[in-house]
Structure 1
Amino acid sequence: MRKSRYSDEQIVRILGEADRDTIPEVASEASIYAWRKRFGEMVSDDVKRLKTLEAENARLKKMVG
């Protein structure tokens, strides 16, 4: 899988900027719409929690499988 140019926290910050202003120059409109689809109305704390839950889920799947 291709590594993203931006971290999840940066993406959430860019989405916040896009809500306040016009589409930021850092990302294209297509990227903004895809990120909104993935992250919705999350804040950076939610993203950190999501990452820890995904890591724990992967660890548990590895233990079972």
Structure 2
Amino acid sequence: MRKSKFTETQIVSMIKEAEAGIPVPEICRKHGIGQSTFY
């Protein structure tokens, strides 16, 4: 299995940002990922 580009902590942080109401496109730009990767 391929190693993830992001640590578990970073992934949890991104999910919490989304739950806090930050728009997904903004989160994706901030972290340099595509929206399809986020979902």
What is the TM-score when the length of structure 1 is the normalising length? Answer: 0.42
Larger radius of gyration: 1
Percent of aligned positions that are identical? 30
Q: Structure 1 residue runs of 4+, over 2 Å off?
A: none
Structure 2, unaligned stretches of length 5 or more?
A: none
Number of residue pairs the alignment of both structures matches: 33
CA RMSD between the two structures: 1.3
Write 1 or 2 for the structure with the bigger share of helix. 1
What is the TM-score when the length of structure 2 is the normalising length? Answer: 0.60
